[in-house]
Amino acid sequence: MKIIKPKGPEIFDIELEKDLLAKNRVLAKGNRRKLDQSKIIAIDIMGSIGSGKTSLIKALLRKLNMGEAIGVIAGDLTTTIDAERIEEEGARVIQVNTGKECHLDANLIHRAINGMKLDGVKILLIENVGNLICPGEFPLGAHKRVVVTSVTEGPYMIVKHPYIFREADVIVLNKIDLAKAMKVNPSQLEKDARKINPRAPFIKANALKGTGISKVIEALGLE
């Protein structure tokens, strides 16, 4: 089989990209400083479309039961569907629409945290745009990063996206109740994850039912 792979110098705009990522890192540090000054723990929640990022956030809000002491930044291309779903749980929500941008970046988060009332907020949950590729490259200044994946995405989701799983502090395998129906072996997915990222706890969950959510809270140090 013929395989075409990129060679370093052949990638277009590599200098531009380096510059962009460096600028993002500086802004991310600024965000972290502001969050630390305000004594807020921020969590960046990444994962593909339909993996259950919003459902996980809703489950965390229900379990933590802290009302407006939790703020949520909902990232999405154009809609406010997720922000509305999250608002039902009584959290303080701000919607960030990225337009065509397929990830959140530190500048958008900078604008969001400056446009949000942060007094009394202790935890900030950030729902990244649904995508398993570039969000990993753009740290936002959050203290921890979660990658949510689900058994409905098939058996190869983790091995095919090593970069983002390497970035994770916690990996959540969602919709665990559907594993059999999807003919996906959760233990194999766990092995794949361990190989790529041995340090991140791997938690099997069913966000809709609340299964595994206490473990996620513990792994994120939110108790």
The footprint of Mg ion (CB under 5 A) covers: 53-54, 82
Minimum distance, C-beta of residue 133 to Zn ion, in the bound complex (Å): 7
Q: Which does 48 bind (CB under 5 to 8 A by kind): Zn ion, Mg ion, none?
A: none
Residue 158 half-sphere exposure toward CB, CA atoms < 13 A: 29
With beta carbons less than 8 A apart as the criterion, state whether 73 and 44 touch.
no
With beta carbons less than 8 A apart as the criterion, state whether 121 and 68 touch.
yes
Nearer to Mg ion, 71 or 192 (CB): 71
Q: Which does 66 bind (CB under 5 to 8 A by kind): Mg ion, Zn ion, none?
A: none
Nearer to Zn ion, 53 or 103 (CB): 103
Q: Tell me which amino acid residue 122 is.
A: K
Nearer to Zn ion, 147 or 222 (CB): 147
Nearer to Mg ion, 53 or 161 (CB): 53
Minimum distance, C-beta of residue 97 to Zn ion, in the bound complex (Å): 14
Give the integer Cα–Cα distance in Å for 127 and 123.
13
Going by C-beta distance under 8 Å and a sequence separation of 6 or more, which residues neighbour residue 95?
Answer: 74, 76, 80, 82, 83
Residues near Zn ion (CB under 5 A) are 102-103, 134
Minimum distance, C-beta of residue 105 to Zn ion, in the bound complex (Å): 8
Nearer to Zn ion, 101 or 177 (CB): 101
Minimum distance, C-beta of residue 91 to Mg ion, in the bound complex (Å): 14
With beta carbons less than 8 A apart as the criterion, state whether 129 and 135 touch.
yes
Q: Which does 69 bind (CB under 5 to 8 A by kind): Mg ion, Zn ion, none?
A: none
Minimum distance, C-beta of residue 32 to Zn ion, in the bound complex (Å): 21
Q: Which does 208 bind (CB under 5 to 8 A by kind): Mg ion, Zn ion, none?
A: none
Q: Which does 54 bind (CB under 5 to 8 A by kind): Mg ion, Zn ion, none?
A: Mg ion
What are the structure tokens assigned to 59, written together? Answer: 């489950």
Nearer to Mg ion, 47 or 212 (CB): 47
Q: What is the DSSP letter of 78?
A: S
Distances (CA, A) of 13 to 3, 27, 120, 123: 22, 21, 43, 37
Minimum distance, C-beta of residue 211 to Zn ion, in the bound complex (Å): 31
With beta carbons less than 8 A apart as the criterion, state whether 188 and 219 touch.
no
Give the integer Cα–Cα distance in Å for 151 and 156.
10
Q: Which does 134 bind (CB under 5 to 8 A by kind): Zn ion, Mg ion, none?
A: Zn ion
